[in-house]
Structure 1
Amino acid sequence: MRGRWHIGNRFILLPEGKRFLPALFAAIDEARTTLYLELYLMESGTLATRLIDALCAAAERGVSVRLLLDGYGSMKLSHADRERLREGGVALRFFNPLAWHRLGKNLSRDHRKLLIVDERLAFTGGFGAVDAFVDAWYEVAVRIEGPVVADWVGLFAALWESPVTRRQTPPRRWPRLAPIAPLAGGMRGRMISGRGHRYQAIRYSLHQRIATAERRMWLCTPYFVPTFSLRRRLIRAARQGLDVRLLLPGSRHDHPGIRYAGQRFYARLLRAGVRIYEFQPSFIHAKFVLVDDWTSIGSCNFDHWSLQWNLEANQEVEDTRFANDVAALFERNFATSDEIHWAQWQRRPWTQRCREWVFGTLNGWMTRLR
């Protein structure tokens, strides 16, 4: 799904949990009519308890609160926490709960992260209600105001009322959304979503931007196992003289095997002139891209899994002011990363090469499951 481009929006970059978590909770506390929250990861713990408290408090003061969780990503949310949400007045639904009689369909997950407040304010990024997001993982979110919020509301509503979620609770009438006026001096942006291998609008949008790039193409992703088509475009762009950089996790990774699987592509990328940085301070879970003055921030990892099986959604922004903020964030993160050089990579030990082969082979098998 590609929302149309809107002018008159306001986008604010919120890097790190210490910035976006207070902004999210402040928005929830200020909600007056509706709260829509869609998450992949929600696990019982300190952050989840705080979120449940805030959602129940909103419901108690008359706000219509709807919480949509992924059936797999929320498996560690306790029964007690689920009951507390329901008893507190929160409408709770789950996307595609796991079922043994349909193993193949279990691979499809709702990986989106979205908060919509009063149908006028939205947040998206890579966040979740897991304690690691407080200070152990590096994450980025974006605050959204303006006409584009209506498209985010429509995206949430479509999934909320879809059969894969609605069958668990009685359907409710969806409220009619009033028009959202453009903001003076606002920015140009659109919502874009992907839904598995048949609907890869996010991927195609990135490919189109790389093909028309004039200066730079910088990409940050925590799970770098790119498709062949993306690797080819990165290599071609670097050989044509563009500034192509990748910001990837270092040794602090929640899934080391995925890191090794992606590292098997380093050699060819480095030879082509792509610059690769591995972030050192913590595990970087953020997903954002900068191509010239176009930015895409959201849930999509640009790997086989996200593109083939997951529901994803990103906010695209085309604005020099916002691009400058994103570029500054990239530069700060490059400075705290280790750059991988071709001569250095050639000397990597045989144990590293073996890990790349083993996990790369496993990843190849996984991509053929569908």
Structure 2
Amino acid sequence: MIETARESIRVLFYMFTEDKAGTRVLQALTEAARRGVAVRLLLDEFGCGAIRPGFLEPLRDAGGTYSVFHPTLSRRYLIRNHQKMVVADGSRAIIGGANINEHYLTDEGPKHWRDLWLAVDGPAVEKLADYFDDIENWTVHPKPLVKKLRRIIARHSRGSGPIAWRFSGPIARSNPWPVQIVKDILSAKRLDIVAAYFSPSNAMLRRIGGVSERGGEARLVTASKSDNNATIAATRFTYGRLLKRGVRVFEYQPAKFHTKLYIADDAVHIGSANFDFRSLYLNLEMMLRVEDAQFARAMRDYVDGEIANSIEITPAIHKAKATLWRKTKWALSNFLVTTMDYTVTRRINLGQE
């Protein structure tokens, strides 16, 4: 996509590492800038904290630009720009959950991640490009007020129809993507949640369980492997309430799991948001909602394939595992991941069982 861009490239990632994959992507961006393409790179400081000073300078030297979402000692300190997107020429895009890192951008090796991207083209991409511009302008502003960020999120989430963008951020009420996914869950007869990080509120757990309780089918596919064992333990803390309400729970086995995909009847949500407190109510996240029966069937087939590579956590299996010690660790992990940043909880080792 970068190599074929003729006019512009907009790139936004939470994590962009200085490894083979990051170096290759940076070289492609730099070469694009040299041939006259307007290249703009936007990164999150927490996610890209391991990059050495000067790594990105070749892009700037070639005529491109890069900016970094910095935390400040204010309410903004807790916010992370967790979004992932590439927009070429304002008409083609890639969105999803993967970062620019050699273990994300491969399907091989013991450390590789399982993730999902979606290629998008057409009029919807122009709207995404406009959103990028506003987020970038807000990031580089000398006084980036949170209230202005909220207005950007709300303004770009107003679209309707079969294809619509829904963004989320530090908004206490009427947060666009959480409001939309709740609406879809409350009316759903079939619900598939594929989420690497899953630790929503009790109210959200009740809504998910309600799909099964009113005669529908609800499934959760989540991680058994990660670089953040606290998030796995936090997810397991929710199993008891879900299983009691008839939700089927699966843990993906072959690789570390990082996918974010949600299907409620014929509505499909794909993007950067996990199903946890930070993604639902605090981080900057982007999701594309596609309402189309054929596309929903195709993505449900994809979920079936993930389930074929998963172990089902039945009520009996969960009961056998849920010792007092484990439940205590699960509860503590759930508390930590709903209050701390991913980069902090990743360093906490409570052990995984």
What's the TM-score bracket when you normalise by the shorter of the two chains? Answer: 0.7 to 0.9
RMSD across aligned C-alpha pairs, in angstroms?
1.8
1:59-208 → structure 2 map (5 Å cutoff): 59-95=33-69, 97-99=70-72, 102=73, 104-135=75-106, 136-162=112-138, 164-167=139-142, 188-198=162-172, 200-208=175-183
Contact 1:220 1:246 in 2 (8 A): yes
* 2:148 counterpart residue number: none
* 2:184 counterpart residue number: 209
What's the secondary structure of 1:76's corresponding residue? coil
Counterpart-to-counterpart distance in 2, 1:223 and 1:165: 30
Contact 2:170 2:284 in 1 (8 A): yes
Counterpart-to-counterpart distance in 2, 1:58 and 1:139: 27
Q: TM-score, normalised by structure 2?
A: 0.86
1:232-251 → structure 2 map (5 Å cutoff): 232-250=206-224
Alignment counterpart, residue 283 of structure 1, candidates 256, 267, 279: 256
**Unpaired runs of at least 5, structure 2:** 107-111, 144-160, 342-353
What's the secondary structure of 1:219's corresponding residue? strand
**1:98 positional shift:** 3.7
What's the secondary structure of 1:220's corresponding residue? strand
User: Residue type of the partner of 1:210?
Assistant: I
**1:40 positional shift:** 0.6
User: Residue type of the partner of 2:331?
Assistant: W
1:1-20 → structure 2 map (5 Å cutoff): none
What's the secondary structure of 1:196's corresponding residue? coil
Counterpart-to-counterpart distance in 1, 2:175 and 2:103: 29
**Unpaired runs of at least 5, structure 1:** 1-26, 169-186
Q: Does 1:33 align with 2:13?
A: no
Contact 1:133 1:139 in 2 (8 A): yes
Counterpart-to-counterpart distance in 2, 1:293 and 1:57: 41
**1:228 positional shift:** 2.1
For 1:167-192, what per-residue CA distance to the aligned partner results, in whole angstroms no more than 9, with x for missing partners? 49xxxxxxxxxxxxxxxxxx931111
**1:148 positional shift:** 1.1
**1:104 positional shift:** 4.5
**1:360 positional shift:** 2.8
Contact 1:224 1:262 in 2 (8 A): yes
**1:53 positional shift:** 0.7
Contact 2:167 2:176 in 1 (8 A): yes
Counterpart-to-counterpart distance in 1, 2:339 and 2:3: 46
Contact 2:278 2:338 in 1 (8 A): no
* 1:269 counterpart residue number: 242
Q: Does 1:333 align with 2:309?
A: no
**1:122 positional shift:** 1.1
Counterpart-to-counterpart distance in 2, 1:73 and 1:263: 25
User: Residue type of the partner of 1:123?
Assistant: I
Contact 1:254 1:283 in 2 (8 A): yes
**1:308 positional shift:** 2.6
For 1:259-307, what per-residue CA distance to the aligned partner results, in whole angstroms no more than 9, with x for missing partners? 1122111111101100000000011101011111110000011211112
* 1:181 counterpart residue number: none
User: Residue type of the partner of 1:51?
Assistant: V
Counterpart-to-counterpart distance in 2, 1:49 and 1:317: 33
Seq. identity, %: 28
Deviates more, 1:33-42 or 1:76-85: 76-85
Counterpart-to-counterpart distance in 2, 1:301 and 1:80: 31
Cα distance change of structure 1 residues 119 and 365 upon mapping to structure 2, 3 Å threshold: closer
Higher relative contact order (CA 8 A, sep 6+): 1
Number of residue-to-residue matches in the alignment: 317
For 1:40-66, what per-residue CA distance to the aligned partner results, in whole angstroms no more than 9, with x for missing partners? 111110000000110011111110000
Counterpart-to-counterpart distance in 1, 2:35 and 2:339: 51
Counterpart-to-counterpart distance in 2, 1:128 and 1:87: 24
Q: TM-score, normalised by structure 1?
A: 0.82
Counterpart-to-counterpart distance in 2, 1:67 and 1:301: 23
Counterpart-to-counterpart distance in 2, 1:131 and 1:281: 17
Cα distance change of structure 1 residues 313 and 272 upon mapping to structure 2, 3 Å threshold: same
* 1:20 counterpart residue number: none
Counterpart-to-counterpart distance in 2, 1:40 and 1:274: 31
User: Residue type of the partner of 1:109?
Assistant: R
* 2:327 counterpart residue number: 353
Counterpart-to-counterpart distance in 2, 1:78 and 1:365: 28
**1:354 positional shift:** 2.8
User: Residue type of the partner of 1:270?
Assistant: L
Cα distance change of structure 1 residues 197 and 247 upon mapping to structure 2, 3 Å threshold: same
What's the secondary structure of 2:326's corresponding residue? helix
